[in-house]
Structure 1
């Protein structure tokens, strides 16, 4: 497992085919990524978020500790969010994600849909109207100053 994670972290996005072919040979022996054991650099590479920011994002989106799908497939909330982040960060097929997350295509599909549905159902109102007070020019300038000190 540790060796596979080191190989995965060292690869560029275009080199993931090499890892997938290696993992296919070891199918069943690859238990999947444990987010807690990843380095900050690995999290940035896999999910485009820092390690600590993934948990902050999970709490901000109010994704529950345990995600339960329609067929009773379960996943930890952090794992479900990571599957979604990976799916959105890099174009990959569910078959490719099997070897990263140690779950079947069916489970991954259910988890991705459950998490995305949860986010949509609980936060779509934020995108229904762009005339929100928190999108005023003054507030947006404040956001810019906080995020970009050079402005």
Structure 2
């Protein structure tokens, strides 16, 4: 397989595959439930192929030596389960490697440079609704009235470098974002760890569905942006129009490669390793 072909099919360069295997700690052989043996690199490529673009296992047979569909399925799921069991703590718990005080300050500085009105915001929090097929039982629990679909929900915190800093879920589709926040215990983690080097509290920014806390900021509810507020050029001349009176910080849009987390999974597939989509987060008028 050529380099560009590998990148196109797996979204990973061919020269980086051995590094990825080593970093993830993939074993040399993956033994499936019916005792089929698949090489570690090959099994990882199966997973990458499966996650790179929606496809059937039968579409992967030619690429992987005409292995049977059950073997492809079991090998892919085995690698997926192994990666999750070995590394899920990096996003389901507080990861000091990327969330230490120095790193939090750097994230906040990057967001501030984009025009944000907060100087201590290091990330963004939101919930995402992932549709599933209508289940045969517990339909009311999984039904999301806002989106009008049966779904699973996740809560994630994203940081400016595009990584998921914290992930919670899945929960039933009817759960409100504030309910997920309470169940996740994220506020307690923020109170314990979200402190800058100089001892000041750091915060994440969410939409109006979240409560206002020291470590969690959100815009005013039921506020609509006027066309003038949406136009950056009009904001630049606003102080002169107000005879030198400086207004409060204006809403600023921040495009951040944050995560709506998953491509649509089939029924029951709720593993948080299904590709990332960019999200658009917006700073509304900040409540201080």
TM bin (shorter chain): 0.5 to 0.7
Asked if 1:87 is matched to 2:44, the reply is no
SS of aligned partner of 1:103: coil
Distance 1:73 1:121 in 2: 21
Q: Which residue of 2 aligns with 1:127?
A: 91
Which 5+ residue runs of structure 2 have no aligned equivalent?
A: 108-159, 162-288
Distance 1:121 1:94 in 2: 23
SS of aligned partner of 2:9: helix
Distance 2:2 2:24 in 1: 23
Kindly provide the CA deviation profile for residues 60-116 of structure 1, in whole angstroms up to 9, marking residues without a partner as x: 110011111111111110000000000000110111111221211111001011111
- Greater strand proportion: 2
Distance 2:29 2:46 in 1: 14
C-alpha displacement of 1:39: 1.7
Taking structure 1 as the reference length, the TM-score comes to 0.64
Q: Which residue of 1 aligns with 2:3?
A: 40
Worse overlay, 93-102 or 74-83: 93-102
C-alpha displacement of 1:45: 0.8
Instruction: Sort the Cα spacing of 1:53 and 1:139 in 2 relative to 1 into closer, same or farther, 3 A.
Output: farther
Asked if 1:67 is matched to 2:20, the reply is no
Taking structure 2 as the reference length, the TM-score comes to 0.35
Q: Which residue of 2 aligns with 1:110?
A: 74
Runs of 4+ in 1 over 6 A off after TM superposition: none
Distance 1:133 1:126 in 2: 9
Relative contact order: is structure 1 or structure 2 higher (C-alpha 8 Å, sep ≥ 6)? 1
SS of aligned partner of 2:38: strand
C-alpha displacement of 1:138: 3.3
Distance 2:11 2:95 in 1: 28
- Greater helix proportion: 1
Distance 1:107 1:85 in 2: 16
Q: Which residue of 1 aligns with 2:17?
A: 54
